[in-house]
Structure 1
């Protein structure tokens, strides 16, 4: 039986995720997940939904406690999940670029010195030696912290600086599995970062008419409506933790669907966002990939996801756009045949 390469890759990476995590989830213990990404970035919602899909599909579990950074309560966590592992949401915020997340992570280690704490897969990047030392002290004091990382450079860094178990693991979004796309309306769509991880000042000025977007814009009304619907669906539950999970899960689904609809509009895509790359693989769209400011995308592709014809590691924005135009023409030809 012939399997489409991207489907084989998705299945392979989901199996690798399970190999990394299976020892940390026991059927008789509750699970907590902290740092829910209640933000506009669709990629973080893809990671969250992958975390939830992994627990549901591989273990038949829902977390007993979830929280954002700003509504976290150690007391509520202990009440809802008196034992068992504490997971921290994965992504690309381990280090000092997004310092609030690192501060929160180290606070959790301090508050729960006797509980296993597992960091879902992260990319690591520090700019300050002092901040590295602060993180190393927090991790060293805990003694039961497991750090999953998404690339070889992050693993080497963690093994050098941190006294904890370190494991290379794919991004959790692959646990979602293949996703159905919407119809394309543009030949090429550029999805380029507009935040502090943007690489350089490249602009597609030489390509008039090319739609250039990011996926961090959203309707607050739509998000609030999705949370209200999620809460309504859990009204039969009298547990505050279940109501909170239903609201947050609904918001993540809303954001993920928005992101999939957005990138589906391109027959081919150019991006410097890691999760536009990952979601393009999930929906089966050809895409040219540029790096972010510190090499996160390149590093992840080298470790896990650079082995299909759907993705092209572009040398520049112009190179990526030119490749995407050719890929779009090829896709249009196949569709017309």
Structure 2
């Protein structure tokens, strides 16, 4: 009987609950921005951060916080998750000052590969076209067909109408493409922002091989090749486990650090990671874990690898049938990651924010 009553009441109460939640968000956003501006003059609005279980995307947000903290801007950040952005974008726009800076997460979302994400980024750029806007390091990929051309022309118009837009790109192929096709927009060539994170390796005893392969539209590793690798590992009396950088539950701002630590601990305990995920490779790098990375459809794995090719524990391979010797060479090797060799490259994106901060303090 109670269950039946709940089923009846739920749709009746939902509009009232939604209105209350909207009022709560409006109160939060209006007053938080007002207080930050009172102290600092402007806000950094970190827009539409992930709620899903892709830990690569959450590591991007974590790294953005780290960088912004290092340039003295941590207290200016207001994080708006994707769910709240979608529901309350009218409120966000209403209470955003022209002095506020809009920050859009990095990732692999520009172009046709993930159209919904590209649409969202373009929408934010358009809605806040009079605000200084910074897009953290992205990969862009436009298909060579009518859909790709249509999306390219749409984004050309949106980007060109923005008053102060900076887009960071994390691989040379994306950077060169953007320079050719978006002449009025400022682009910065910088590493994937997750490489800004270091000292997350736990110094654990390493054992076994960790397989981390995609299951979505960017998957390139054929099942027969994965099975052949498993047979090779078993034949050498090495145990293996399977994982993914995408977990089957939502992750919030509150649980982000815990979920990332658990995943990084798993990588830290492995003797070798074999992956076709970009952030599988990067998680291996920042935890000092030996890794063989397989390139993917958008070539973002090999593109980002160029930044860390000096790391002896990371190898990229185009042909999975030729990695047997590399498995044995890298297995249980000991390495330590220190991001300092990338500091000069990160300096340019830091300067985008430090110039504003210096103006505030002058």
Bin the TM-score by the shorter chain: 0.7 to 0.9
Q: 1:182 to 1:320 in 2, by over 3 A?
A: farther
Q: Give the 3-state SS of the residue equivalent to 2:116 in structure 1.
A: helix
CA distance in 2, matches of 1:329, 1:112: 49
* Residue of structure 1 in register with 2:310 after alignment: 307
Structure of larger gyration radius: 2
* Residue of structure 1 in register with 2:135 after alignment: 119
* Residue of structure 2 in register with 1:20 after alignment: none
- Contact 1:31 1:81 (C-alpha < 8 Å) held by counterparts: no
* Residue of structure 1 in register with 2:168 after alignment: 148
Over aligned residues, Cα RMSD in angstroms? 2.3
- Contact 2:56 2:246 (C-alpha < 8 Å) held by counterparts: no
Q: Give the 3-state SS of the residue equivalent to 2:289 in structure 1.
A: coil
Q: 1:330 to 1:83 in 2, by over 3 A?
A: closer
Q: Deviations over 1:277-314 (max 9, x none)?
A: 11211111111111111211101112x11111111122
Within the alignment, does 1:204 sit opposite 2:215 as a pair?
Answer: no
- Contact 1:200 1:293 (C-alpha < 8 Å) held by counterparts: no
* Residue of structure 1 in register with 2:78 after alignment: 65
Matches within 5 A, 1:285-304: 285-302=289-306, 304=307
Could you tell me how far 1:164 is from its partner in structure 2? 0.4
Could you tell me how far 1:204 is from its partner in structure 2? 2.1
Q: Give the 3-state SS of the residue equivalent to 1:121 in structure 2.
A: strand
Could you tell me how far 1:249 is from its partner in structure 2? 2.7
Unaligned runs of 5+ in 2: 1-39, 235-239, 336-362
CA distance in 1, matches of 2:142, 2:288: 33
- Contact 2:165 2:185 (C-alpha < 8 Å) held by counterparts: yes
**Aligned with residue 183 of structure 1, among 198, 204, 226:** 204
**Aligned with residue 36 of structure 1, among 49, 72, 83:** 49
CA distance in 2, matches of 1:77, 1:328: 51
- Contact 1:35 1:67 (C-alpha < 8 Å) held by counterparts: yes
Could you tell me how far 1:148 is from its partner in structure 2? 0.6
Q: Give the 3-state SS of the residue equivalent to 1:35 in structure 2.
A: strand
Q: Deviations over 1:88-126 (max 9, x none)?
A: 010111112111111111111221221111111101111
Matches within 5 A, 1:1-337: 28-72=41-85, 73-76=89-92, 78-79=94-95, 83-127=99-143, 128-162=148-182, 163-181=184-202, 183-184=204-205, 186-202=207-223, 203-206=225-228, 207-208=230-231, 209=234, 210-219=240-249, 223=251, 248-302=252-306, 304-328=307-331, 330=333
The alignment of Structure 1 onto Structure 2 pairs a total of residues equal to: 279
Could you tell me how far 1:170 is from its partner in structure 2? 1.4
Could you tell me how far 1:130 is from its partner in structure 2? 1.0
Q: Deviations over 1:184-228 (max 9, x none)?
A: 5642211111111111425322233443332322455xx5xxxxx
Q: Write 1 or 2 for the structure with the bigger share of helix.
A: 2
Q: 1:320 to 1:37 in 2, by over 3 A?
A: farther
CA distance in 2, matches of 1:321, 1:306: 20
Q: Give the 3-state SS of the residue equivalent to 2:245 in structure 1.
A: coil
With structure 2 as the length reference, what TM-score do the two structures score?
0.71
Q: Give the 3-state SS of the residue equivalent to 2:84 in structure 1.
A: coil
Unaligned runs of 5+ in 1: 1-26, 224-247, 333-337
